[in-house]
Chain A
Amino acid sequence: KQEVTQIPAALSVPEGENLVLNCSFTDSAIYNLQWFRQDPGKGLTSLLLIQSSQREQTSGRLNASLDKSSGRSTLYIAASQPGDSATYLCAVSGDYKLSFGAGTTVTVRA
């Protein structure tokens, strides 16, 4: 059974600092890995999708890397802003299901 772990569980940084969120998974046989953002009481917004054959994806201030062999992914958010405050979820896709980590709750202080 796939286990997904996200560290740290919570993170508080001053505005402008770079964010580094970690995700690890136990079974490297994945189709892709997806990072999501969830605001309180809301659904999930997809941030980045990395196919299993790729090593990274970038979108604006966001960059996600994938090392499938070691079962790790890292989400970098450059020059954080208060609007980046949210919970970030990592999910890996195996067969047809997504396995989620518990998330990292980020607070960016103005």
Chain B
Amino acid sequence: GAVVSQHPSRVICKSGTSVKIECRSLDFQATTMFWYRQFPKKSLMLMATSNEGSKATYEQGVEKDKFLINHASLTLSTLTVTSAHPEDSSFYICSARGDSAPNYGYTFGSGTRLTVV
């Protein structure tokens, strides 16, 4: 089945530094990838939609200069949290949607736990 690999699974960084999270579709091409943020015991909040070869579309209230998204190929999207602060600590999850059968559904990565100290 469709597999999405997300790295790193866990990262601790100092306040003011930047962190890059990678999301790869391993066995299918994904023209569209999505980045979510999840707060403790809450559901997923869509942050942005990443389209291969074009600018990402950010949801209302998400700072595009803080959360930089790059989707340079059909199998890789990256999220960079710039100048991270403790309030950016969260669980970030990516997902990819296959555009051809049987991948009509969405496949999710295993998530990245970001802790900013």
The residues of A with any CB-CB pair to B shorter than 8 Å are: 31-32, 34, 36, 41-46, 49, 51, 89, 91, 93, 96-98, 100-103
Contacts and interface: CB of A to CB of B under 8 A. Distances in A.
A26 B110 CA distance: 29
30 contacts: A31-B104, A32-B105, A34-B105, A34-B106, A41-B91, A41-B113, A42-B110, A43-B6, A43-B93, A43-B108, A43-B109, A43-B111, A44-B93, A44-B95, A46-B108, A49-B104, A51-B104, A89-B44, A91-B106, A93-B106, A96-B49, A96-B97, A97-B34, A97-B49, A98-B34, A98-B95, A100-B44, A101-B43, A102-B42, A102-B43
Contacts of B46: 97-98
B105 A46 contact: yes
Residue from A44, A51, A93, A101 having most chain B Cβ neighbours under 10 A: A44
Given A41-B91, A103-B43, A36 B108 contact: yes
Interface residues of B, number: 21
B32 interface: yes
Interface of B: 6, 32, 34, 42-44, 46, 49, 91, 93, 95, 97, 104-111, 113
A103 B44 CA distance: 10
A62 to B, nearest CB: 15
Contacts, number: 49
A32 B105 CA distance: 8
B12 to A, nearest CB: 15
Contacts of A93: 106
Nearest to B111: A43
Given A44-B44, A98-B46, 15 more contacts: A31-B104, A36-B108, A41-B91, A41-B111, A41-B113, A42-B110, A43-B93, A44-B108, A89-B44, A91-B106, A93-B106, A97-B34, A97-B49, A98-B95, A98-B106
Q: Which of B44, B93, B104 has the most CB of A within 10 A?
A: B44
A78 B58 CA distance: 40
